[in-house]
């Protein structure tokens, strides 16, 4: 049975890289019908941040990374409860276990007590550096006679416990990086237990992975140099080591290690900014993995990822953290959710609706105009919820129509929506040249003729819908025997006073008949 774990230290906000580690460990377990554990590694009490464990549990829940064993909130609000047979899953509650295990190592001669003072260690390291040697413990206390150890303890001297790293080549096969080896001679004798009786990460991590029967350790590449120490510990205990998979570092765009200086690294920050959780997960899973050749899709649900994830497809090289890609995923998910919701709503509203799927999304045709406008209102209401609109006293109907006319834009980027619609409420000052278009061969004279014709046809129009506007204006084009753009460009510019805006049909529909005619007149007078 495959068993993976996510073993974070609650030392602050959850890093995006940690969420990726959790996600890969989760997906690998699910894909193989295995078990996924959450274990909290809080042995470094100095670095612990209050509330960090609770918030990381909440984040895992929020993203749907359910674990089979570990500390979690019970039904009674806010209380932590444990699930699983191998607990406790919070390391600070397991100190007795580590003490017992370090005794085994001492007995077997794979660990020793070290009484060196901080001053001595500092001096030793300074000398080593001065001699151009890598600083490492010189094993002064490694072979102290039993009687001397006892005398020091009796005299009240404090000590730490160090691992006696074997002087041999330590080899292992990493599932991502392939064969890896380290020379034991250049590995420092790792501290296993501190003077206060608390274990270090290395001891606690190995003991727990063994006792919790972890089969695959999936973690960030920054832990690779620790792995030979861990392999040596497994060997010293006489245990079988799990498989290791070290996943690539996350990089800034300039290929340096991902850091706060170049942008946010905390998952909470992206949640606060309003990114959709599915988009965040989708983005994160692709940082260092892809489904491989033959699969062009990029948008996947967590359930789908559980089916297709594999460690073989994880890359060795660092993965660039590119926020624009996250924005892209967010847009894809925004559209996906919007379309799913409105396919459903459309059929509820009108069982006779026809929904045609196109590249740009579903196209809805309702049995009557009333249903069409009701549907548009529903969509606009939804857009209002996600868009960024400041307090205002505008005509609500106009606001909703304005939102609907830029639906694609809002789904892509809901920030600054107002900037993209404010010309609907107040016609901006503009120069008459805006009504012309060199490439479409519209000069002022032509613009005037088009606007006058359009104005006349629109004035006669009784039902003001997107469809009727489209039909009427295309007829205007036909009668004038010109190209579409020769009427629609000056008309759009006259309606919005903007270089870029929604098209002529949408703009006229949004503004309504009276305001549209008024704006066309203003343009004609300018010429």
Residue ranges in contact with ligand GLU by CB under 6 A: 7-9, 41, 201, 205, 219, 223
Read off the tokens for 40. 């909290």
The residue among 2, 3, 20, 4 whose CA lies nearest residue 63 is 20
* Separation of alpha carbons 109 and 114, rounded Å: 13
* Separation of alpha carbons 102 and 108, rounded Å: 10
CB of 216 to ligand GLU, least distance (A): 11
| Count of C-beta atoms within a 10 Å radius of residue 18 | 21
| Sign (positive or negative) of CA dihedral 25, 30, 32, 36 | positive
- Which residue in the block uniquely carries the two structure tokens 């089979």? 68
Nearer to ligand GLU, 20 or 219 (CB): 219
Q: How many CA atoms lie within 13 A of 256 on its CB side?
A: 6
Nearer to ligand GLU, 71 or 291 (CB): 71
Q: What residues contact 482, with CB distance under 8 A and at least 6 apart?
A: 446, 450
CA angle, 130 as apex, 129 and 131 as ends, to 5°?
A: 90
Give the DSSP H or E segment for 173: strand 169-174
Q: What residues contact 285, with CB distance under 8 A and at least 6 apart?
A: 20, 23, 24, 27, 300, 305, 309
Q: Among the options 108, 171, 173, 260, which is catalytic?
A: 260
Nearer to ligand GLU, 112 or 201 (CB): 201
Phi, psi of 167 (to 5 degrees): -80, 75
**Helices (DSSP H) in 298-443: which residue ranges?**
302-308, 323-349, 369-386, 396-405, 407-412
What is the number of helices (H) and of strands (E) in the chain? 19, 15
CB of 239 to ligand GLU, least distance (A): 16
Active-site residue, 260 included? yes
Read off the tokens for 323. 């926020």
Beta bridge partner(s), residue 358: 361
Nearer to ligand GLU, 170 or 494 (CB): 170
Nearer to ligand GLU, 200 or 372 (CB): 200
* Separation of alpha carbons 138 and 148, rounded Å: 18
Nearer to ligand GLU, 9 or 282 (CB): 9
The residue among 241, 237, 257 whose CA lies nearest residue 249 is 257
* Separation of alpha carbons 481 and 132, rounded Å: 86
CB of 247 to ligand GLU, least distance (A): 10
CB of 218 to ligand GLU, least distance (A): 8
CB of 217 to ligand GLU, least distance (A): 6
Nearer to ligand GLU, 22 or 406 (CB): 22
Q: What residues contact 242, with CB distance under 8 A and at least 6 apart?
A: 209, 214, 215, 216, 217
* Separation of alpha carbons 251 and 238, rounded Å: 38
Read off the tokens for 273. 């900014």
Do 248 and 315 contact (CB within 8 A), yes or no? yes
| Sign (positive or negative) of CA dihedral 447, 449, 454, 456 | positive
CB of 250 to ligand GLU, least distance (A): 13
Nearer to ligand GLU, 19 or 141 (CB): 19
Nearer to ligand GLU, 69 or 446 (CB): 69
Give the DSSP H or E segment for 180: strand 178-183
CB of 241 to ligand GLU, least distance (A): 13
CB of 204 to ligand GLU, least distance (A): 9
Do 20 and 247 contact (CB within 8 A), yes or no? yes
Nearer to ligand GLU, 8 or 291 (CB): 8
Strand 3-6 and strand 35-38: the pairing is parallel
CB of 18 to ligand GLU, least distance (A): 7
CB of 272 to ligand GLU, least distance (A): 23
List the catalytic residues. Answer: 260
């Amino acid at each position: 049975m495959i068993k993976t774990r996510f073993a974070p230290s609650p030392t602050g906000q959850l890093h995006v890289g940690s969420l990726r580690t959790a996600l890969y460990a989760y997906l690998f377990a699910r894909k193989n019908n295995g078990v996924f554990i959450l274990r909290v590694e809080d042995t470094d009490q100095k670095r612990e941040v209050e509330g960090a464990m609770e918030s990381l549990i909440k984040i895992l829940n929020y993203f749907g990374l359910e674990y089979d064993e570990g500390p979690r909130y019970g039904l009674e609000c806010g209380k932590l409860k444990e699930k699983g047979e191998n607990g406790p899953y919070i390391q600070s509650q397991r100190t007795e276990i580590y003490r017992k295990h370090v005794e085994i190592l001492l007995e077997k001669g794979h660990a020793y007590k070290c009484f060196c003072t901080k001053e001595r260690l500092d001096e030793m390291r300074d000398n080593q550096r001065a001699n151009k040697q890598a600083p490492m413990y010189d094993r002064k206390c490694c072979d102290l006679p039993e009687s001397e150890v006892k005398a020091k303890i009796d005299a009240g001297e404090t000590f730490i416990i160090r691992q006696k790293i074997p002087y041999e080549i330590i080899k292992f096969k990493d599932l991502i990086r392939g064969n890896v080896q380290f020379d034991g001679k250049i590995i420092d004798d790792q501290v296993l237990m501190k003077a206060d009786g608390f274990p270090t990460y290395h001891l606690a991590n190995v003991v727990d992975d063994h006792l919790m029967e972890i089969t695959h350790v999936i973690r960030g590449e920054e832990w690779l140099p620790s792995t030979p120490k861990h392999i040596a510990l497994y060997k010293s205990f006489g245990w079988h080591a799990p498989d290791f998979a070290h996943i690539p570092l996350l990089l800034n765009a300039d290929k340096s290690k991902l850091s706060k200086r170049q942008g946010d690294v905390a998952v909470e920050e992206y949640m606060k900014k309003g990114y959709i959780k599915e988009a965040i997960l989708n983005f994160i899973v692709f940082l260092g993995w892809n489904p491989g050749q033959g699969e062009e899709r990029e948008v996947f649900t967590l359930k789908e990822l559980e089916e297709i994830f594999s460690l073989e497809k994880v890359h060795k090289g660092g993965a660039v953290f590119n926020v624009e890609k996250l924005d892209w995923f967010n847009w894809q998910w925004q559209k996906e959710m919007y379309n799913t919701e409105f396919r459903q709503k459309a059929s509820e509203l009108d069982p006779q609706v026809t929904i045609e799927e196109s590249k740009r999304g579903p196209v809805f045709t309702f049995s009557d105009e009333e249903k069409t406008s009701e549907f548009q209102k529903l969509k606009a209401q939804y857009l209002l919820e996600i868009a960024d609109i400041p307090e205002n006293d505008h005509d609500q109907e106009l606001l909703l129509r304005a939102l609907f006319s830029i639906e694609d834009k809002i789904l892509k980027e809901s920030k600054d929506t107002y900037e993209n619609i404010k010309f609907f409420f107040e016609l901006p000052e503009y120069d008459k040249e805006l009504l012309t278009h060199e490439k479409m061969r519209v000069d002022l004279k032509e613009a005037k003729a088009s606007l006058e014709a359009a104005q006349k046809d629109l004035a006669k129009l009784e039902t003001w819908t997107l469809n009727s506007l489209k039909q009427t204006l295309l007829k205007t084009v036909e009668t004038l025997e010109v190209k579409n753009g020769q009427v629609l460009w000056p008309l759009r510019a006259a309606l919005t006073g903007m270089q870029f805006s929604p098209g002529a049909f949408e703009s006229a529909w949004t503004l309504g008949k009276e305001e549209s005619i008024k704006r066309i007149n203003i343009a004609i007078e300018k010429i």
